[in-house]
Copies of this chain bind each other. A is one copy, B any other.
């Protein structure tokens, strides 16, 4: 009857015993994912955080997969909001670059995010919106629809590929040896240098670069290759 005044705009509807809510479930799920990665997101751990039983979560979500889908889409939704102005620029290619970099930033913040970004966009409306936002910039270029579709798909594939790379948890030898990330990278490069030079000429050739590389540089670099290709295609404006 009388409303609790603690609830702001969206009252969490009448508080029951252990009032959950879809919002709360997703918020804690995301927190769990952020703190300890995908394997840490279990129904029991989540329930403990929410202060209830594991079975209760099934009221809001029918599945662990659906839980992850919704969490991912929630994050994507926020990202859409935060980056709404990135497509205002006059140059569509520059806009694509900014948009992709924003995605990269989010993936760096949340290594789990990229891995689930593309699965089943049918279940992830916001991922679909992001895909469309990318495509809309490509529509502004002088390309055939097929070229535009291919370019959008390739861009997303590239981004997800990098995401997968970054989602790789650091090997435990790193966690054990309290090294700094830069130190570890350097010592990892030494392993490249220890490989047979006959079988691995390239590893030796670029070991120095590898030792000091920054993930964002690598990402930006590949992104620019892809976008350069798009621009070549747009100027050639023709066949596929």
Contact = CB atoms under 8 A, between A and B. Distances in A.
Nearest to A222: B154
Nearest to A200: B132
A122 B208 contact: no
A210 B217 CA distance: 32
A69 to B, nearest CB: 12
Given A118-B168, A146-B209, A225 B226 contact: yes
A118 B230 CA distance: 26
Given A159-B161, A165-B157, A222 B132 contact: no
A3 interface: no
- As for how many copies of this chain the complex holds, the number is 2
Interface in A105-153: 115, 118-120, 122, 128-129, 131-136, 138-139, 145-153
Interface size for chain A: under 10, 10 to 19, 20 to 34, or 35 or more residues?
35 or more
A4 interface: no
- In this complex, which of A161, A188, A200, A210 has the most chain B Cβ atoms within 10 angstroms of its Cβ? A161
B171 A120 contact: yes
Given A201-B139, A203-B128, A221-B240, A160 B154 contact: no
A45 interface: no
